[in-house]
Amino acid sequence: MRQFTLLFKNPSFLISFVVFFGLVLVGLLFPIFVHGSPVDRLGCPFEAPTAHFLLGTNEEGQDMFVRLLFGLRSSLYVGLFAGTIATVLGVVIGLIGGYKGGLLDNVLTMLTNLFIVIPSLVVLILISNSLGPKGRSLEVVSIIIGATCWAWTARAVRAQAQSLKMRDHVNLAKLNGYGTTSIILMQILPYTLSYVFMAFIIQMATGILEEAAISMMGLGPYDSVTLGFILNNAQKAEALVNGDWWSFIPAAVLVTLLQYSLFVMNTSMETIFNPRLRKEE
């Protein structure tokens, strides 16, 4: 509890926390204040920002401000969904392998190393391309990202589990007849929660970034407007060459803000939670 108190006294964490959750609130609440669809054609192509179109229009005359809000919400959804899947997979595999040891641990470690060695983005590109446009929904892309990005979490949690299973409270639980599941859930998992929180934040950032990357290649979700999809449209319409900055800069700024705020949050948490990095005042 004291660590979380120290965390919210950390200026870097506090600022990044406010920025990130401010964007989350915007993504959740904007339908209350902004009405319309991201696919409605309301103006002429590439209209510059005005009082009516706050961020201008794109190549199809669609309101870029509305599209940006929908894109923010979709990208946050991917980050949350993919981050949850990757964190759960990594934690489960890491805890089981680290605690059980033996042949099972060797198999899970080999699987983990395989996913670490193979770049997840390459796998994501291959699978997305093989699915075709109609097979790439927002949920499917999120599941693929989560299922390919869990390995580093598993490695970190496994190391913690290997250390914790030698502690006295775990040995006492064994003597009292607790089963493997009870020991993992009650005696080991609670002591790894700080690492789980940090892993979840990094996995969210990875999900948002990888979705943006494949969407810019034209391999992202077909049924939703995301920040990466907006950047892909701007690229195809040569907005940068034509000087239509409103078609790509706001989306790029949002992706950067999301990545930077999550990165700073993770770094600040590591500084507080890691005894070797923590500076006692």
- Over the stretch 166-193, which tens digit does the pLDDT of each residue have? 888 888 888 888 888 898 988 899 888 8
* Statement: residue 108 has pLDDT above 90: yes
Find tokens 């929908």 and name the residue. 70
Long-range contact set of residues 243-252: C-beta below 8 Å, sequence gap at least 24: 244/46, 244/56, 246/48, 246/49, 246/55, 246/56, 246/64, 247/46, 247/56, 247/58, 247/59, 247/64, 250/55, 250/64, 250/68, 251/68, 251/71, 251/227
Q: Where in the chain are the domains?
A: 68-273
Separation between Cα atoms, residue 100 and residue 96, nearest integer Å: 6
**Would you say 231 and 213 are in contact if contact means Cβ atoms under 8 Å apart?**
no
Looking at residue 281, its pLDDT comes to 46
> Does 1.10.3720.10 match the CATH number of domain 68-273?
yes
The residue-averaged pLDDT of 108-130 equals 90
Q: Are 178 and 99 in contact (CB under 8 A)?
A: no
pLDDT digits (tens, 9 = 90+) for 38-89: 888 888 888 888 888 888 888 888 889 999 999 999 999 999 999 999 999 9
